[in-house]
Structure 1
Amino acid sequence: MTAVEALRSGQRAGAALTGKVAIVTGGASGLGRAMALALAEAGARVVVADLDARAGREVADLVDGAFRACDVSDLEANRALVEFAQDQYGGVDIALLNAGVATGCGVGGDFDPARYRRAMGANLDGVVYGTHAVLPALRARGGGAIVATASLAGLAAVPLDPLYAANKHAVVGLARSLGPALAADHVRFNAVCPGFAESRIIDPLRDMLSAQGMPVIPAEAVADTVLRIVTGDGSGECWFVQAGREAEPFRFRTVPGPVRPADV
């Protein structure tokens, strides 16, 4: 039974998040929509945030939640989103910083500063601004969980789209660094790194993926992984989601340390 079917039938998958309040950016479609459904299915009250007001309100209605239009590349819009969630439901416990866009250009002759800034604004600034805006609310509740949507492009080289890879590598680095940095506040920060998953971003790639026999990961599989992250106890982790494999935290190699003169 899918999350949508469970909500419509009134059969929730569990109550692990009952009483919790969650924000999902980019929640109107694709991965964000699936995340909103999964959170609601697990008992959370959900605030759906997106620039697409029509689709965003439809998702909010489906999960019996609330909708807020938000441009995540704007710091004040992120602050207003958190204030809205607090006004609606009394606080915030979970933030899924999921909004993102395709880059649409490279660094050569096709470089477009406007496209570059748009991608950086959504894919990286949206995570940084969202984290900055939500931290006071999480601290006020005694802690909470933040999950940023990165990508396998944040774990590997992507020669065909280096700027998108740069965005996502930055999110991965932020997750790994903020995990321990926020421990004293009881705030867990992790990233989810899907491969080619069902979303608008892969629309230009669908024919190529089909021709290569590359399976597209269902959005629900990514949402299920996010739910595992939110209800777990890890922090500073970057969970890969790949077709046909069990999702788990990516195991980074340890960087070689310096050789001290005394060791020579």
Structure 2
Amino acid sequence: MTRQSFDFSGKVAVVTGAASGIGRATVRAFAAAGAMVVAADRSARVHDAVSGLGQALAIEMDAGDEADVEHLVAAACHRFGGLDIFYANAGIAGGTAGVLDASAALWAEVLRVNLIGPALAIKHAAPRIVERGAGAILCTASVAGIRSGAGGTPYSSSKAGVISLVQTAAQQLSGSGVRVNAICPGLIETGMTERAFDYARERGKEDQLGRLNPLRRAGAPEEIASVALFLASDAASYINGQAIAVDGGLSSSHPVTRQAFGRAAF
């Protein structure tokens, strides 16, 4: 099923982290499917994400700030008359620090954006979606949240928290008509991974990106956007409280290890 087969006419969708990568691709995919879209990001580039689109609004905000999230939801409802879909996609990498290296300040910032941000999105979006009768909330987790080996410790922990969050929220929203699911991307070319992709291209090694997954390639933001549209659509009406890996098969066996002491044993 292609994303062009989805019809979101009359629906209002909010996407955070929309200035680039997965967020930008999802904004444009929702718009192409007929939705009224609110693109949000702390970068001013978010305005470019809605360039040329019809019923679309760009808002600069901090996804981990409650006042900003509350204002974002209110602005979407004021502009378009309600809310049907919220995709809490914004996130930060926080580097590759391990459990012995990461500072308390780094932990706090990564958790604020990556985990508290989606929690705030659910808190403020769910009641407005209920007013429409039913709808969907999506959160970007990561294969790094499924098991060790795909990210720094604060990042991986925050994404594991997102997976737990959608499970808990789905239960607590029982009977409301609001479905809550997570997408767990693998290696995707986004603003977060831009340096790695550029580095590989400069050295003529782009074909090595993603070679650890069974498809042996990196993914494109549009491939995540397609899954987001599916999960937000009526075609996914019985999918709730799930974390869907979109990673080329990487999470079937993370083939990377890091040890704090001694040498890794293979």
Q: Check whether the contact 1:105–1:115 (CA below 8 A) recurs between aligned residues.
A: no
Q: Check whether the contact 2:19–2:40 (CA below 8 A) recurs between aligned residues.
A: yes
- Per-residue CA deviation, residues 140-168 of structure 1 (Å, 9 max, x unaligned), is 11121000000111112137512111000
Q: 2:236 aligned with 1:230, yes or no?
A: no
SS at match of 1:142: coil
The 5 A counterparts of 1:148-163 are 148-158=139-149, 161-163=152-154
The 5 A counterparts of 1:1-264 are 13-14=4-5, 16-53=7-44, 55-64=45-54, 65-104=56-95, 106-107=97-98, 110-158=101-149, 161-206=152-197, 207=199, 210=206, 212-214=208-210, 215-231=217-233, 232-233=236-237, 234-243=239-248
Q: Quote the Cα distance in structure 2 between the aligned partners of 1:159 and 1:193.
A: 11
SS at match of 1:28: coil
Q: Quote the Cα distance in structure 2 between the aligned partners of 1:197 and 1:60.
A: 21
Q: Check whether the contact 2:209–2:218 (CA below 8 A) recurs between aligned residues.
A: no
- Per-residue CA deviation, residues 216-256 of structure 1 (Å, 9 max, x unaligned), is 200000000111111111111111112379xxxx9xxxxxx
Unaligned runs of 5+ residues in structure 2 are: 211-216, 253-266
Q: Check whether the contact 1:101–1:122 (CA below 8 A) recurs between aligned residues.
A: yes
Amino acid at match of 2:94: T
SS at match of 2:51: helix
RCO comparison, higher one (Cα < 8 Å, 6+): 2
Q: Quote the Cα distance in structure 1 between the aligned partners of 2:89 and 2:159.
A: 12
Q: Quote the Cα distance in structure 2 between the aligned partners of 1:108 and 1:183.
A: 36
Amino acid at match of 2:245: F
CA deviation after TM superposition for structure 1 residue 90, in Å: 0.5
TM-score by length of 2: 0.81
When residues 45 and 160 of structure 1 are mapped into structure 2, their CA distance, relative to the original with a 3 A threshold, is closer
Q: How many residue pairs end up in the alignment? A: 235
Amino acid at match of 2:13: A
Unaligned runs of 5+ residues in structure 1 are: 4-12, 251-264
CA deviation after TM superposition for structure 1 residue 171, in Å: 0.3
SS at match of 2:245: strand
More helix by share: 1
Amino acid at match of 1:59: A
SS at match of 2:122: helix
CA deviation after TM superposition for structure 1 residue 111, in Å: 2.3
- Per-residue CA deviation, residues 180-230 of structure 1 (Å, 9 max, x unaligned), is 331311000000001001111113433478474422200000000111111
Pairwise CA RMSD of aligned residues? 2.3
Worse overlay, 27-36 or 130-139: 130-139
CA deviation after TM superposition for structure 1 residue 103, in Å: 1.3
Q: Check whether the contact 2:6–2:229 (CA below 8 A) recurs between aligned residues.
A: no
Q: Check whether the contact 1:145–1:187 (CA below 8 A) recurs between aligned residues.
A: yes
When residues 213 and 45 of structure 1 are mapped into structure 2, their CA distance, relative to the original with a 3 A threshold, is closer
Q: Quote the Cα distance in structure 2 between the aligned partners of 1:68 and 1:187.
A: 24
Q: Check whether the contact 1:28–1:50 (CA below 8 A) recurs between aligned residues.
A: yes
When residues 136 and 217 of structure 1 are mapped into structure 2, their CA distance, relative to the original with a 3 A threshold, is same
When residues 124 and 160 of structure 1 are mapped into structure 2, their CA distance, relative to the original with a 3 A threshold, is closer
SS at match of 2:40: strand
